[in-house]
Structure 1
Amino acid sequence: MTDSQARSQIATGKTTGLTFVLILSALMAFTSLSTDIYLPAMPLMAKDLQGDVELTITGFLIGFCIAQLIWGPVSDHFGRRLPLFIGMVLFVIGSAGCALSTDIGQIVFWRVFQALGACTGPMLARAMIRDLFSRTRAAQMLSTLMIIMAIAPIAGPLLGGQMIKVTSWHSIFWLLAVIGTLMLISLFWLPETLPEEKRVKASLRSAFRNYYTLLSNTQYMRFTLCLTFYYVAAYAFITGSPFVYITYFGVEPQHYGWLFAVNIVGLMAVSMVNRRLVHRYPLETLLRFAVCIAMLAALMLALATGAGIGGIGLIAAAVFVFFAMNGVIAATSTAAALDAVPNVAGSASALMGSLQYGSGIISSLLLALLSDGTPWTMGWIIAVFTVASAVMALTTRGTKTAG
């Protein structure tokens, strides 16, 4: 089968369609799985490694952020499959290194190494969708992927919480190594979506100059910053919730996963609705609506944590609404941003992903430096950056309609 035939079959949902969607969903889930699965073990890891375990998230996001900027032009030049194969190998090695770590410095180093490979998954999954589908169809496909990939952040904390009851936290990273190996094998069923004639022919050095063009593209950057600011807020919850739920409110680590998972159920439900909405409304309209709903939930969360009212119930309810909106925000902002720069989808996806996931560095550092021992720090960080996300969404131009 030729590349063009494979692309045609995928685009029309035949033969390789289901396999393609499942593999891309798994690739999209790599980031959340790599972090969410060990969230319940973070208090135990902090005691065992005698260090600030939040730095393992910071280190992962630093590696994730930087590496994407390299893999993007590489994928535009050589195609999507080769970087994915190399990335999965790096991920497996990094996961094994984390499992063998004995102090905080070692595990932070291997988390950075692990991220060098993990970042190829979601970045190139987005690029492959843009290779194949138009703007509205791409948003629908991204919503579909999010429904399936949401299994990872649901299963991850639940599995991690149960594992530390019967074994050590090291086993969690050995499991990630096994998952990475299975993903490496699955890539043999993934066809190349960027044919030779569409690849960037200029040298890689010239390809890296695309980042300047992207940074100066106002429409692309507004959508990208909208998603970036939203993810600063999302990572504030991901990083801060183990302390808030387990340490502050006394939730058992094995039950923490349920509180985390309920947010992903909301995301999945909204993603299913969004698959239909993208054919009826412009992406910009859906994005603005979703971000404004998330902003209201974030402001409620800040009020509750600042005033110390409502307890864990109000916090969980506000976070549920905030997280559910990701089912619209991620799909619409990504599709609209990549549609603005279709000729460099790999680099555009890389820059977007670098800012999106690198934004978690801001969250984890703010939490580490400014925490006052209460949920308030997490609450105001989420509120401030969700408001910033809303500002970006409200200033985008609605130039394209659904169709």
Structure 2
Amino acid sequence: MRDIGDTSASRGGNALFGPLSLALLIWAGSLKETPLFAWVPVDLTLASAAAVAVFTLDSRLRGGAATKAVAAPLLVFMLFLPAAVIVPAPTEASTSKVLTLFTISLLLAVTPFYLLRAPRQRTAFLIALVGFGLLSAANLVFAPTEVSNSPGRFVVEGSNTIAVSRIVLAAAVILLIAATVRGLKLALRVLTAILAVALTAVATLTGSRGPLIALLLAVGVTVITASVYRKYRVRAVLGLAAVAGVGGWYLLQSSQTAGLARIISALTGDAGSGPDVRAAIWSYTYELFLAQPFGSGWGTFDYFGTPYPHNLLLEVAVEAGILVLIAVVCLLVMSLVRGAREAVDWQTTAMLSLFVFAFANAMVSSDINGNRLLLVTAFAIWAVGKRQESTNPVDREVADPPRMRSVATRGAHSG
């Protein structure tokens, strides 16, 4: 099997604007009310979703069919359908959740097979995510807004602490992977590592703990499992440990902000009320699941005004039922295994790390529609990879052009 390469599906707008629109759609809900995008005269989520849909259709028409794995998201969302119709008394919240699930979320699951199937597309996508992280970090440093009910913690105006921390640390994840995978010049790898540490330090201003822990898990799991580190895994682990040690030492030696102090208290076990509230929600959700193991329907969960349990697997279990939960768990495990096996360059390795980062975040915050990065990366893993085979003759032509085939044929005949 061969990598798709830069086909007609990735030239022109699909090489840059398609992946850029996809990256923007992932963070649109968190950024559209911030000074960075508040000036846009239309809803940023709807505009970016429309752009993604157009570029996806263009990629399908010009670049040909996707791989057979594109059936995976369609099958998963078919399994989601029963939970959309069993809602006993649909409310505005449940209707909105179902509508978003089967429009924007479905689009996010399918589009990687068209907008992330070529190396140039994946590069543009990852660079775009780094760009959004840098913009958010700059806004957080130069124009911070103090959280009203938590003095000493800061956020980008129009967003929230968790969302900003996710955006900034997703960029840090990509930069850390780029710094550890061979291929870049040493000076550039050092620069990306320094920038990743700087972004991590900026993210601590929010005081959000989950995304930072997710970053540590993502990078750790990736270095331990990814194929690309097979020949130098120990050195990569030592290098990351050195970067983490230097960064941690600097943060501890510097004057601690309220946000950093909150994160340190969580890591040392003195976490305050946050985790206790989530623990209560999770316990309540588990009891609901035991009482109705085949699901109560999408959007039916409510815990004193909290519309979701802040845990993806519990959300699927309580609203869609145990059968759908088993299917989702199988998909996540298979994506992790495949992602580790197919992580053979910095792009596919970064995609794996983002998948782990997104999943870790999904286990402690937001809902299935809000965890857009997870939807994209879970299926992008099946759309990329050096062993991926294309059914498109144009792709095969790029991977094995006539001139190269003729040279190989002459060589075989002369032998």
TM-score > 0.5 by shorter chain: no
TM-score (norm 2): 0.28
TM-score (norm 1): 0.29
More helix by share: 1
Determine which structure has more spread, i.e. the larger CA radius of gyration. 2
